[in-house]
Amino acid sequence: MMLRAALALCLTLFAIPAQAIEIQRVESPGGIEAWLVEDHSIPFTALSLTFQGGASLDAPEKRGAVNLMTALLEEGAGEYDSTAFAEEAQALGASFSFDAGDDSLEVGAQMLTENRDQAADLLRLALTEPRFDDQAIERVRAQVQAIIRSEATDPGAIGAKELSQQAWGDHPYATSINGTMDSLAALTRDDLVDAKGRVLARDRVFVGAAGDITPEQLGQLIDDVLGGLPADGSAPLPDMAELQLTPGVTVIDWDSPQTVVSFAGPGLPIEDPDYFAAFVANHILGGGGFSSRLTEELREKRGLTYGIRTGIAAGLYGQTWQGGMSSANEKVGEGLDLIRQEWARMATGEVTEAELNDAKTYITGEYPLRFDGNGKIAGILSGMQLIGLPIDYINNRNAMVEAVTAEDVKRVAQRLLDADGLRFVLVGRPEGVEATDPAVSGQGDPGLRNSDEAVPAEG
Amino acid sequence: MRRLSLALSLALSPVFVAPALAEMPEGISHFTLPNGLETVVIEDHRAPVVVQMVWYKIGSADEVPGKTGLAHYLEHLMFKGTDTMEPGELSKTVTRNGGMDNAFTSYDYTAYFQRIASDRLPLIMEMEADRMANLQIGEDDWQAERQVVLEERAQRTDSDPRALFAEEASAVQYYNHPYGRPVIGWRSEMMGLTREDAVKWYEDYYSPDRAILILAGDVTPERARELAEQYYGPIPAHGDIAPRVRPQEPDQRSPRRMQMSDPRVAQPVMMRTILAPERNPGDQKKAAALTVLAELLGGDSQTSVLGRQLAQTGKALWVGARYDGLSVDPTTFTLSLVPPPGRNIEEAEAEFDAVLADFVETGPNAEDLDRIKTQISAAQIYARDSAHGRAYDYGQGLATGLTIEDVNDWPDILRDVTAEEVTEAARDVLSSRATVTGWLLPEDQAGPDTASAPALPDVEVAPLPAAADAPAEPAAENPAMTETQ
């Protein structure tokens, strides 16, 4: 054991610097900015287009429109109906993805070098001339309705939905991007056209690319793909959300041997000066790997759960510090006590030097692991622009982590963590746990299943 | 029978040290240490990252009756320390060094992996080699960990009617082969697993001559060999390894039907599994035809045969066809269907069967086949973007008894599949009587026997079983697999 510690230490001292990743800032002839990591070793290009606002730009009373519109982008465009569009993409060996989220609408593409222009043209059609054929609308609407119904019988989704609704009041964050059975049923083709205009515009797109393409080729390609979009989105970007969580315990009855537990308190945005201090604190409390305090207490020592995790959900428009686990109904009370106990211990901000150092070596060491592939890099590049990070961020980020001191961790932990302020949502038949107030989302009772739905998910 | 003779011939062949002579794809190399540890190196120097995987050719299908869950239980206990490592120290050391680690168990193998900055490769190889030879399972640890695997079962299986349904479908599919028993184990048997069971399993089956080492990413073959010799080289071979002979299936003459209702089911699902051959060394053509067939029938909801005729026309919400030939013994070809709301499942199944029958008559259309081959070629290019993904391909192949040449040749074999071979494969699986057709229904929904009920009101729907657990790692796509965390 001593030997191991010594070896780890020595490796840490000689740790390589974070990989120097060269990002080129490309401006297309048409004036659209893109970030590029050029690498010609594999003959394909990964492209990531991130449109800010995403499903949070749903018009009032039209919840679900952006998500449904997004799913229909690959269901026919220009002269191609749904099947013909997919056949064209497959015949080119190209693959496209279209995903709506709370903060952005993400378009991903992988295009072979040998027919990249044709693949890009197909992507242009999807973004600028989607057909929204009636038959496709009905088919995809039925699929989303199916997801809504399915989530109504998924205890994890039920808990997430209840927690979101308690946290975010009237903001779109409070409800699922899928919409409700009713809101979805009422959407018309015009609503989808309107939703597209709200989100898919040149003023809110961020472009990342990686792979076998030169800056000149990329500039031309993004003009080809995006040039036909309107200059400006037709709706203003979403408002900030105000966190409305109250302390307490919500129990939703669900007939299952296990109780699914979700819990949350206030978080902080990535631009907060103490963001990395909080990130370090979270790693120690319940972050990745098998070595957090919560994993040690609940899983390793007592076998109460298969896994427990916490994380900072740093949305653009609102943030929480949250966690989750599942535990047998008869043991979940003990688990809750331990979560509160560890949350309170962390809230004192006291961490050992070893915990601080281990957290930092993990967080800095893990960072370069994210960049091993064109697809991952392209997504990171557009995502960085979405959250407003500078282009040299990648090469400076680990220094910011290294700079976190025990004092910083203490300050942010004392500011944000409050065991008595946590809201727990339990879905199951927990024994010996008292609910402090009723659920707000009307779930759990099969008679109410169709009233609403839960976390974003795509089948 | 093929399995038996093959296993024997492998067991009798002498251990060889020289690299395989066949031509390797760019960036792939292969060698075997004198103690039998077969090693594959997959080079990708674009990022300073490396993945180590050790695959043991032992899985839940090697368990004896009454001890289900043992292979997976030991997988968990492999994190509990060695003569020189404290319980949990391996993972903590990996984490402290910025890496991640995990493990998974399937019917045919148990695998452990780490992903970390490439300058820390010696560290993780030293620790992985250590637990190959020197595992210690403490008195305090084995009982708590048994609770953890029971909670894992509760979370992944008992809380999910689709998982319970799939588990029972496998039990019905296999009369005699241990693939009919769940990897995670039956609850009552898991509760009886002991430290002694685990230690014996470890001593019997964990050794370099039963393992495959994969190093993928920023490492050269020379460095890989040097480190492998340094850390794994000194571990003695177990020797005397018996061939993997499991009880085989007799002829199955009776198509079986099953039905399960559960209030947690949102909408009806039809699933049919059909016994099908697996990929075998030097003999992968049938499996290749089945792979292409699955893609043609249900690979894509917009362009596949079932997708075009049923999903696109509103006769189904989802359709699917799935086949994975990486298996030691015969596996299954799986078809699935989610009828749209209001549609009687029996009628939906009849339409589904009519489409399949028509396909057997007409065979694949040439354009469909061409498109799939284009996608196979493109996938081969995209696959080079992930060294980790390729590590799974090689590990899973070698751990299920294929040679490295078999894994290398697979994309070409897929591309060579002819329309006639697809038609023949379709005829074989679709006329088979070795089938299990199951309906998973919401509790309030009557089956056809009590179908005096009118057309189903407001039938509820969920994604297909396969889409339910989005995997973090490529290998977890195998629904039979179970990961540590």
B266 vs A153: CB contact, 8 Å cut-off? yes
Please give the Cα distance from A374 to B243 (Å, whole number). 42
Helix H or strand E segment including A411: helix A406-416
Task: Select the residue of B303, B381, B387 nearest A112 (Cβ to Cβ).
Answer: B381
In tens digits, chain B (485 residues) has pLDDT values of: 233 333 333 333 333 334 444 578 989 999 999 999 999 999 999 999 999 999 999 999 999 999 999 999 999 999 999 999 999 999 999 998 999 999 999 999 999 999 999 999 999 999 999 999 999 998 888 999 999 999 999 999 999 999 999 999 999 999 999 999 999 999 999 999 999 999 999 999 999 999 999 999 999 999 999 999 999 999 999 998 888 999 999 999 999 999 999 999 999 999 999 999 999 999 999 999 999 999 999 999 999 999 999 999 999 999 999 999 999 999 999 999 999 988 999 999 999 999 999 999 999 999 999 999 999 999 999 999 999 999 999 999 999 999 999 999 999 999 999 999 999 999 999 999 999 999 999 986 544 433 333 332 222 222 222 222 222 222 222 334 444 43
Residues of A in contact with B87 (CB under 8 A): 300
Please give the Cα distance from A308 to A96 (Å, whole number). 34
Spatial strand order in the sheet of A95-100: A24-27, A33-38, A205-211, A44-52, A104-112, A95-100
- Between CA A226 and CA A233, with CA A229 as vertex, the angle to 5 degrees is 120
Q: Which of B38, B75, B128, B167 is catalytic?
A: B75
Residue pLDDT, tens place only, A278-328: 999 999 999 976 789 999 999 989 999 999 999 999 999 999 999 999 999
B88 vs A300: CB contact, 8 Å cut-off? yes
Question: Which of B190, B381, B388 has the most A C-beta neighbours within 10 Å, making it the best mutation to test the interface with A?
Answer: B381
Residues of A in contact with B377 (CB under 8 A): 93
**Is B75 one of the catalytic residues?**
yes
Residues of A in contact with B378 (CB under 8 A): 93-95, 112
Find, in chain B, the residue whose alpha carbon is nearest to that of A331: B151
With 0-12 / 13-18 / 19 or more C-beta atoms within 10 angstroms meaning exposed / middle / buried, residue A24 is: middle
- Residue-level pLDDT at A290: 75
- Residue-level pLDDT at B241: 85
Task: Look up the ipTM and state it.
Answer: 0.87
Task: Select the residue of B47, B341, B367 nearest A19 (Cβ to Cβ).
Answer: B47
**Amino acid found at A404:** V
Please give the Cα distance from A91 to B304 (Å, whole number). 13
Find, in chain A, the residue whose alpha carbon is nearest to that of B379: A93
Region of residue B128 (phi > 0: left; psi between -120 and 50: alpha; otherwise: beta)? alpha
Residue pLDDT, tens place only, A421-446: 999 999 999 999 999 999 998 776 44
Task: Select the residue of B84, B117, B152 nearest A4 (Cβ to Cβ).
Answer: B84
Interface of B with A in 145-174 (CB under 8 A): 145-148, 150-152, 154-156, 158-159
Interface of B with A in 205-234 (CB under 8 A): 217
Q: Would the pLDDT of A6 be above 50?
A: no
**CB neighbour list of residue B22: distance below 8 Å, 6 or more residues apart:** B404, B405, B408
Average pLDDT, stretch A381-388? 96
Torsion of CA A30, A34, A40, A45, to 10 degrees: -90
Residues of A in contact with B79 (CB under 8 A): 290
Confidence of residue A21 (pLDDT cuts 50, 70, 90): confident
Q: Which two tokens stand for residue B302?
A: 């917009």
Q: Would the pLDDT of A12 be above 90?
A: no
What DSSP string describes A27-40?
E-TTS-EEEEEE--
Find, in chain B, the residue whose alpha carbon is nearest to that of A142: B317
* Structural domains of chain B ordered from first start: 2-231 (3.30.830.10), 256-467 (3.30.830.10)
3-state secondary structure at position A66: helix
Average pLDDT, stretch A232-243? 97
Task: Select the residue of B44, B154, B384 nearest A258 (Cβ to Cβ).
Answer: B154
Please give the Cα distance from A329 to A260 (Å, whole number). 9
**How many CA atoms lie less than 13 Å away from A444 in the CB half-sphere?**
23
B485 vs A290: CB contact, 8 Å cut-off? yes
Helix H or strand E segment including A167: helix A155-168
* Structural domains of chain A ordered from first start: 24-226 (3.30.830.10), 248-370+390-435 (3.30.830.10)
Torsion of CA B154, B155, B159, B164, to 10 degrees: -70
Residue pLDDT, tens place only, B131-148: 999 999 988 889 999 999
- Residue-level pLDDT at B476: 27
Q: How far is CA A151 from CA A13, A428, B265, in A?
A: 48, 15, 10
Q: Would the pLDDT of A416 be above 90?
A: yes
Find, in chain B, the residue whose alpha carbon is nearest to that of A459: B463
- Between CA A45 and CA B75, with CA B116 as vertex, the angle to 5 degrees is 115
Q: How many CB atoms lie within 10 A of CB B255?
A: 13
Please give the Cα distance from B448 to B349 (Å, whole number). 12
- Least confident range from A102-106, A218-222, B236-240: namely B236-240
Q: Which two tokens stand for residue B363?
A: 């065979």
Task: Select the residue of B96, B143, B464 nearest A362 (Cβ to Cβ).
Answer: B96
Q: Is B341 touching A (CB cutoff 8 A)? A: yes
A361 vs B97: CB contact, 8 Å cut-off? yes
Please give the Cα distance from A7 to A9 (Å, whole number). 5
CA distance A209 to chain B (A): 14
- Residue-level pLDDT at B469: 27
Give the start-end residues of each E strand in B263-308: 269-276
How many secondary structure helices (H) and strands (E) does chain A include? 16, 13
- Residue-level pLDDT at B245: 92
Residues of A in contact with B116 (CB under 8 A): 365, 369
CA distance B109 to chain A (A): 21
B312 vs A145: CB contact, 8 Å cut-off? no
**CB neighbour list of residue B453: distance below 8 Å, 6 or more residues apart:** B446
Helices (H), A243-352: 275-286, 293-294, 332-347
Find, in chain A, the residue whose alpha carbon is nearest to that of B158: A257
Minimal CA–CA distance to A96: which of A110, A114, A106, A112?
A: A110
Phi, psi angles (nearest 5°) of residue A175: -125, 165
Say if CB B210 and CB B56 are below 8 A apart.
yes
A289 vs B91: CB contact, 8 Å cut-off? yes
Average pLDDT, stretch A149-158? 94
